[in-house]
Amino acid sequence: MIDGRLLWGLAALLCLSCASGPRQYAQTSDSATSGCLRNPTCYTQPGDEAFLPWVDKAARAAASAGATMKLLEAADVARIEHLLVECAKEANHAVNEREYGEGKYPDDKECLRVVGYDKYGDPIRRQAELGTMKHDVAFACVRREILRLFPKNVSIEPRYSGDTSSGGPAMTSMWTGSNKPDIVLHATGQPLQIQCIFDFKFPCTLSGKSQPLGSSETRKQMARYKELGGKCRPAIITPQFGVLRE
């Protein structure tokens, strides 16, 4: 809420134009504010929100600007991290059960099974296919459980330019050289004012599950995310270990 003293200060400044208007509304020995309050051209409707239209607009603009810059409180970040872990667990369980049956999950041989080839002729393994399925379920969970609570402070898969030489990240539609984190927390309505970055990871093999940060590709990915800035170190979210940071 705008401070009352600020509101009246704005009134005093903005109503000078009323005081200098037609002769019958000229300012007397009273303040510019009280002169304006006696001037019917300065009124709109009675009530807390409607009177003094210029002040009202300025106050709303100031409130909007303050909200735009607002980052999430530490308690909210912790709550989101908890929900992200729950979404990862839900996705991992749901896809494994759907694909393999109740209580079952793929072994290393199944994880490394080739299920197709990409446009470059490189093999696509089952673990990558399962990872895509689990990401889809996790994102649906984020929309349901997190975006409804923090719709203007959380973005799913925003794409940032990989070049931060201009002093900060920039949004881009280019795939080459860009970064697309799974989840970004940011200032209200401002995805370029990054607060925290998270990536879902769904390790499939036993070694991957035991050391989810052991992959050189994951470490490189976290390093790229760190260059984008933020108030906390980039993290991965796994069903087995929850939130992990290097």
pLDDT given at position 69 = 64
CA 20 – CA 9 distance, rounded (Å) = 18
Per-residue DSSP letter, 144:
I
pLDDT single digits (tens) 80-115: 999 999 999 999 999 999 999 999 999 999 999 999
Per-residue pLDDT, 83:
98
CA-angle at 41, arms to 39 and 44, nearest 5°: 105
Q: Which two tokens stand for residue 124?
A: 């696509």
pLDDT by residue for the chain (246 residues), tens only, comes to: 444 444 444 444 444 444 444 343 333 334 433 444 344 444 334 443 333 343 444 444 444 444 456 999 999 999 999 999 999 999 999 999 999 999 999 999 999 999 999 999 999 999 999 999 999 999 999 999 999 999 999 999 999 997 777 778 899 999 888 999 999 999 999 999 999 999 999 999 999 999 999 999 999 999 999 999 999 999 999 999 999 998
* Dihedral in degrees, nearest 10, Cα atoms 188, 190, 193, 195: 40
Give me the pLDDT at residue 165, please.
73
Dihedral sign of CA atoms 76, 80, 83, 89 in order: negative
DSSP state string for 160-198:
B-S--TTSS--B----TT-B--SEEEEETTEEEEEEEEE
Q: So what's the pLDDT on residue 211?
A: 94
The predicted pLDDT at position 228 comes to 94
Residue 71 in tokens: 């980052």
User: Which pLDDT belongs to residue 21?
Assistant: 42
Give the pLDDT of residue 162.
Answer: 79
Helix, strand, or coil here: 114? strand
What residues form DSSP beta bridges with 196?
185
